[in-house]
Amino acid sequence: MAAPSTTVDVVAPRSSGSDNYLTHDKGVLSWIFTLDHKRIGVMYLCSVLTAFALGGFFALLVRTELLTPQRTIMDHDTYNQMFTLHGAIMVFLVIIPGIPAALGNIIMPLQLGAKDVAFPRLNLASYHLWIVGALFMLSSLAINAVDTGWTFYTPYSTTTSTAVVPAAFGAFILGFSSIFTGLNFIVTMHKLRPPGMTWFRLPLFCWALYSTALIQVLATPVIGITLLMMIVERTLHIGIFDPMLGGDPVLFQHFFWFYSHPAVYIMIVPAFGVIGEIIPVFSRKRIFGYKFIAVSSLAIAFLGFLVWGHHMFVSGQSVLAGTIFSAITFLIAIPTAIKVFNWITTMYKGVIHLDTPMLYALAFLWVFTIGGLTGIFLAVMSVDVHLHDTYFVVAHFHYVMMGGAITAFMGGLHYWWPKFTGKMYEEKVGRVGAALVFVGLNVTFFPQFILGSRGMPRRYYNYLPEFQPLHVLSTLGAYTLGIGFLLTAFYLYKSLKSGKTAPMNPWGGATLEWHCSSPPPYYNFHKPPVVTAGPYDGYENLMYDETISGYVPRKEKIV
Amino acid sequence: MANDDTPQNAEQPKSMQGSSEETPTIAPEDDATAPNPAFEPTEQDEPEQDEQADAVSEDPQQGHEKHEDHGLAHTMPIWMMLAVLGALMALTILTVSVTSFDLGSEGNLVVAMVIATIKAGLVVTFFMHLFWDKKFHLILFLTAVLFVILFLSMSITDRGEYQHNIDLYTNATTPAVGK
Amino acid sequence: MSESISPAIEPKPGHRVPAPAVHEDADHGGHDEHGHGAGPHLAHHFDTYQQQFDAGKLGIWLFLLTEVLFFSGLFCAYTVYRGMHPEVFVYAHYFLNTTMGAINTCVLLVSSLTAAWAVRNAQLAQRKLLVLNIAITIACACTFMVVKFFEYQHKFHDGLLPGPAFHPTEQVWELDAFKKKHPEAAEYAEKLTQLAEHKGDVSAVAGAIDLTRPVTGKFERPTEAQLEPLLKAGVIGPAAEDTTRPSKPRNAHVFFSIYFFMTGLHGIHVLAGIGVWVWLGIRANKGQFGPKYFGPIDYSALYWHLVDLVWIYLFPLLYLIH
């Protein structure tokens, strides 16, 4: 952090309007060792999208294998490795860093009105750690891919012959990457707010990132020590988790879920933030219940720490602990519902523009509500005993993680794409892509609810023939999803090459990032902006200018 | 490099440097009594006010009034540091000597933990400046403690609840030697 | 640059630093270095030194938060095993050298003092004292590691290793620490062992151990002082590995797993601290720290106090088990 003066590079403001963070420096090294939060965010974004493609490829392999009740394309050991890699990559490499580290890094300081994050070098270190962690995790693929499931449960993880250690060590390093990002964001939001940017003028995306960062800082160290203990258990047999040596595997699950349940909120709370940005802008209406949405993020972050045991109802955990965890789990529905109700109320009597980001936001509301409500089924201990480790659970968390976090990530990507690339994508193709993703998602995962409630266990290679029609349907949905994402990748890439130049404010947002040029200049704001209104105020003072396809301030202000 | 590394103030003419260092205890003593602690909380209480406070503190006049003790943070007097170290050493001796007494099944553990917590409190309060620091840092630290307690208490409670299952397993699987 | 240095900064003996001079100095430095109104150590995205310092301080506190939670996993494992298997901890603590632990505690406490003092030196721009205090801190940290090294070496030599490598070369009642504390029990354990080995009179031994059974043979019923320390340490009784002779408690190796894990992780933090202090010592020697820019010293001192804090708990938990 504290900078020796050698790296402090203060340049006089450029007068040329065309200079932006993308063109400010040239060369690969100027990217790899950049301290600019936007560039780091873009690098994160590219890496995360690469990992997403890889994880998605494994998912398609898994779904293809499940087309038939017996062997389709791979043997059962490979199948175990495929779903493990799919899970581990999607959780640790895609969803956790997806919105905070990639989109958050690019957008949050802009929204805040800061020149950069508080510790630019820590930010870069966090990205480099991410790369190292990802390489470790993928090295497991090259050696003998890990087959424990992404949860690394002992005693299987300490006895299986696959390469658990590199994968777990990769997750350990990724944890530190995540901690440093969270730490950086908290300090940035505390210390780098410009004049007038009070806490309750922060955009909801910032609030969500703040809550996320608190979880990252408080929970992630515990997974660090847990994975470290697991690695040592595996290599030196220290007997902390291995029952053969006097250890306790349920203790591992406590350790693991003390992080990994809050980690679920590391994944979904930033998604809430993105939705909170998109809905008011595309409804041309001030957000409803701003303070409630802001504070409910904190409430979710806090409650998220008190419920980890609901993953362990059938693990040998005591009934007492199960009861406590079950009861608290119901409480989480309250702040979550507050958010959903407020978003819906925001749209009420708004002027809704069904552009691609808004389509993703609407898709989010649909699938997240299904995902959230099925979570309440699973929070009931007696129901969970029946549904535990079935496809019902798989469907539930895919509705939340894939349907919630990834949909919001896609929404945010489209929403801010013009801002950080300076290019517009093809709107009509974008809508087709969003529709394909929405349909594919529901076709893939809804049948899994039915499968699960009928008793199809998760992670099984073979299944009863009666389950085949629903499995085929689910696989077809997965292919639809794949096509939707390929289409999206195609038109986004095309927009970089031949897209129209983006205006400063294509959607009519009022938050500070839309006050910068697209793409933003190197130092964002040459003078700290002075904030005088809330983040969702003043839509009425913006008007659409067809000549630039973007919003400009209205000449005569409406009072 | 040499240019960059040149400090803004610390590299003094050697003669001056020496004169202050040979009498380190005098300068600090005076220093310790000088600042009026009443100024500290008002400025540092609320993290929300930082930007405004910064703007103000840059002004030399204001800075003079507010930062009686070197601008950025509180400076701890030497006597206080030595006193804290003395207390920590005394408590260490106490905790070692207490082990030779039997204070019941859990008594020794409780006493040891109480002493350790007092020591930790001294370190946190004085060495880590939390007494003078922003309240938000204190909140952060207490949050950490709270979450550790949460983590430990739930895990341990649960383990206590299912321990009998493990005992059953252990008794059933341990080979009975000599029977 | 050197022209801009204000000699008024250096506090004269018995004289408080005049605050306005500090600010004046910042202005000078800023103009020389960047023409930006910033000082030489002020990063571009901060407006003032105060903002930079506060940001760093909040950052380091958050980092300490993560450190506390990082260690909490081990404390949790410790508490669970100690709660469920107290005999293992009673057994194992006789193998630990309390004197060495106490020395290390004092060494770390002294280094904490010098670290706190170093912050003060940096704030007052006392360069030589700052370097001296950092040097003492490093020396203490190295002393700590050397003591630790000898402790580890001793443990390795005695076969006190975690997991399947656990093969203690000495029985617990043969240790001086045990003999000194419970002479009668040590003697009694010796007697039982001989009985089991030479006479092969297993039933007599088993009878002696199980107080409810009638005593057979010539063996006398043991007294409380003979029996209780052995029962508590799991040498005999239901927790023992071998029920026919004095042995060690089941899974005694778990204590050493936890011991090595906790002290090892703590040791790694000490090593990291040494690295940081060496780096800061070099920078301090160049005179980079002063009233406007002492953050790195302050943050490292906070980290160092946390390392001390962890040890404050480890010492009684590992060495002072009653």
Taking 3-state DSSP, the helix, strand and coil percentages for chain B, each rounded to the nearest 5, stand at: 70, 0, 30
In this prediction, residue C204 carries a pLDDT of 57
Q: Which residue has the higher pLDDT, A247 or C150?
A: C150
User: How many independent structural domains does chain B possess?
Assistant: 1
Cβ contacts of C131 on chain B, cutoff 8 Å: none
In this prediction, residue C213 carries a pLDDT of 56
In this prediction, residue C36 carries a pLDDT of 41
Across the interface, whether the CB atoms of B155 and A324 are under 8 A apart is answered no
Closest CA to C211 of C224, C225, C197: C224
Domain residue limits at B149: 135-174
User: Which of C15, C84, C286 faces B5 most closely, judged by CB atoms?
Assistant: C286
C-alpha distances out from residue A159 to A87, A140, A186, C155, C253, Å: 20, 16, 40, 27, 19
Across the interface, whether the CB atoms of A193 and B150 are under 8 A apart is answered no
Across the interface, whether the CB atoms of C47 and A528 are under 8 A apart is answered yes
Q: How far apart are CA C291 and CA C22, in angstroms?
A: 7
In this prediction, residue A477 carries a pLDDT of 97
pLDDT digits (tens, 9 = 90+) for A406-465: 999 999 999 999 999 999 999 999 999 999 999 999 999 999 999 999 999 999 999 999
Across the interface, whether the CB atoms of B147 and A218 are under 8 A apart is answered yes
| Fold of the domain spanning A36-553 | Cytochrome C Oxidase; Chain A (1.20.210)
pLDDT digits (tens, 9 = 90+) for A507-539: 999 999 998 888 999 888 877 788 988 899 888
Which structure tokens are listed for C301? Answer: 């001192």
pLDDT digits (tens, 9 = 90+) for B61-92: 333 333 444 468 888 899 999 999 999 999 99
In this prediction, residue C220 carries a pLDDT of 66
Cβ contacts of C225 on chain B, cutoff 8 Å: none
In this prediction, residue C242 carries a pLDDT of 79
Q: How far apart are CA A388 and CA A386, in angstroms?
A: 6
Share above pLDDT 90 across residues of chain A, in percent, rounded to a whole number: 82
Cβ contacts of C125 on chain B, cutoff 8 Å: 9-10, 12
In this prediction, residue A214 carries a pLDDT of 94
Asked if the C-beta of B150 comes within 8 angstroms of chain A's C-beta atoms, the answer is: yes
Is residue B106 in a domain? Answer: no
Q: How far apart are CA A300 and CA A276, in angstroms?
A: 15
Which residue(s) pair with C72 in the sheet? Answer: none
In this prediction, residue A91 carries a pLDDT of 94
User: Which of A191, A251, A320 faces B161 most closely, judged by CB atoms?
Assistant: A320
Q: Which pLDDT band, with edges at 50, 70 and 90, does A233 fall under?
A: very high
The class that CATH gives domain C54-164+253-319 is mainly alpha
pLDDT digits (tens, 9 = 90+) for A200-226: 999 999 999 999 999 999 999 999 999
pLDDT digits (tens, 9 = 90+) for A291-322: 999 999 999 999 999 999 999 998 888 888 99
Cβ-based contacts under 8 A for chains A and B = 58
Share above pLDDT 70 across residues of chain A, in percent, rounded to a whole number: 96
Chain B residue with the nearest C-alpha to that of C283: B5
Closest CA to A388 of A380, A253, A268, A90: A380
Q: Where are the domains of chain A?
A: 36-553
Cβ-based contacts under 8 A for chains A and C = 145
Q: Tens-digit pLDDT profile for chain B (179 aa)?
A: 333 333 333 333 333 333 333 333 333 333 333 333 333 333 333 333 333 333 333 333 333 333 444 468 888 899 999 999 999 999 999 999 988 887 877 888 999 999 999 999 999 999 999 999 999 999 999 999 999 999 999 888 888 888 888 778 777 766 544 33
Across the interface, whether the CB atoms of B155 and A199 are under 8 A apart is answered no
Asked if C29 and B8 touch (Cβ cutoff 8 Å), the reply is yes
Across the interface, whether the CB atoms of B27 and C305 are under 8 A apart is answered no
Q: Where are the domains of chain C?
A: 54-164+253-319, 177-232
3-state secondary structure A222-268: HHHHHHHHHHHHHHHCCCCCCHHHCCCHHHHHHHHHHHHHHHHHHHH
Chains that touch B (3 or more CB pairs under 8 A): A, C
In this prediction, residue A26 carries a pLDDT of 87
pLDDT digits (tens, 9 = 90+) for A343-374: 999 999 999 999 999 999 999 999 999 999 99
State the nearest Cα–Cα gap between C14 and chain B, in angstroms: 4
pLDDT tops 50 at residue A253 = yes
**What mean pLDDT, rounded, does chain A reach?**
91
Segment-wise mean pLDDT, segments of 10 residues, chain C, 322 residues: 36 36 33 44 87 94 95 93 89 91 95 95 93 97 96 92 87 89 87 75 58 57 79 83 82 92 96 97 93 93 96 94 80
| Phi, psi torsion values for A543, nearest 5 degrees | -135, 150
Cβ contacts of B156 on chain A, cutoff 8 Å: none
Q: Is the dihedral of CA A337, A338, A343, A347 positive or negative?
A: positive
State the nearest Cα–Cα gap between A114 and chain B, in angstroms: 12
